[in-house]
Amino acid sequence: MLSYISNALKDFGLNEFFANHLSVFLALLGILSISYLIHLMRRIFVVFFPYFEDFTNDKSKWIKSAKKHHIFEKLYLLAQLIFVSLLFNLIMAENLPFTKWLTEAASILVILCIVGMIASLLSSLLNVINEIYKESFSFANQRPIKSYLGFIKIIIWIIAAIIVFSHLTKQSPTAMLTGLGVISGVIVLVFKDSILGFISTIQVSAYDIVRIGDWIQIDKHNINGDVIDISLNTVKIQNFDKTVVTIPTYELVTNGVINWRGMKESGGRRIKRAVNINVDTIKVCDGVLLKKLLKIKQINSYIRQKFKKIPTTTIKDGVIDYNKTVTNVGLYREYIKRYLNEHKSIQGDRQSFTFLVRQLQPTETGLPIQIYVFTKTTNWNEYEDIQADVFDHIISILPLFELRLFQNFYSSKESL
């Protein structure tokens, strides 16, 4: 083809040097023109593609995802590159001395483009597979495959790099792979995070440590939020202040992770708080206080069960029988039990959920009465409302039992 163009130019009176080089220029210009025409045809195809989609409703999910990741455009570009490569080889088939360097340079460039496009196309196909997997299966969040597909992408690009490098050095890929054993240490160092991430991803998936959507807490990194993405190398967590934290995947295995998924799945969230009672206000109930507390419905039956007759005094023949007495803090604790037992938002299933109102070790800040129960909801807003309502009530009821919360009071003189 080049000889024909060159001879035609010579017939017009050009000398051999200009005729040869001008023929190369005209051939390249023709190849570029044809390539541009193919590019224009691609735009026509894209315009009419929606009509094709109407006839493939059963595969609309795949087509939609393929369009999103530019699969059809990359296929068209790959076909365009292959066509241009064949056209170039056809025109430059004579391999004349003055075109040898151009043929070699163009061959390297085309190989780079084709191999790169194939690798990019395969990576996009893996993205499509991941997207369809998440949309099609309900267990996709529990068993994400994004990390495994990411590892396959790395292998694809490594193979592409080996092919390109072997073409540049004019060595077989087998020889290149043999030589990789020498620099394996460097490869391990470069892909350390990817290797660790791949192993960690397998462990995270196998032991079901974390799923997308889980609420997790990692105190070391001050993380407290929802997992929004798990990839080969990184995990993204959106904190409740809407900041996004990215950590290496292997941090989930090497560090302690608090996963609140169990709480959500159980349907109940724990309340574990205490009120500190001023020890100076704790006392044995006399008849007057007992009669006053009889008016409280929740402990009326309890008091009557304790005392068949409400005593006016516990003193007999000058001796106090403390076995026949009850303390105000004991009645207060019993009241809290019965109040929570009747509360519509507190779990009453004692087999599945712990239900305790207990007295802890006295401290320098008073006697703690701890509430250890579970709500019937895991919604954060509702949980906080329930918890606040419960403690509003049990604090406000304290004066009826002639009890007070522990507080540090400083008079104006003492503060001076």
Tokens 């997992």 map to which residue? 227
Within a 10 A sphere around the Cβ of 374, how many other Cβ atoms? 23
Write down the CATH number for the domain with range 208-259. Answer: 2.30.30.60
The distance of Cα 179 from the centroid of its chain, to the nearest Å, equals: 39
pLDDT of residue 57: 45
pLDDT of residue 114: 85
- Spans of the chain, pLDDT less than 50: 53, 55-58, 315, 318, 410-416
| Helical packing angle, 328-342 and 297-306, nearest 10° | 130
pLDDT of residue 281: 93
User: Is residue 320 helix, strand or coil?
Assistant: strand
Q: Where in the chain is the domain with CATH 2.30.30.60?
A: 208-259
Q: Residues near 360 by Cβ (< 8 Å), separated by ≥ 6? A: 274, 367, 368, 369, 370
pLDDT of residue 2: 56
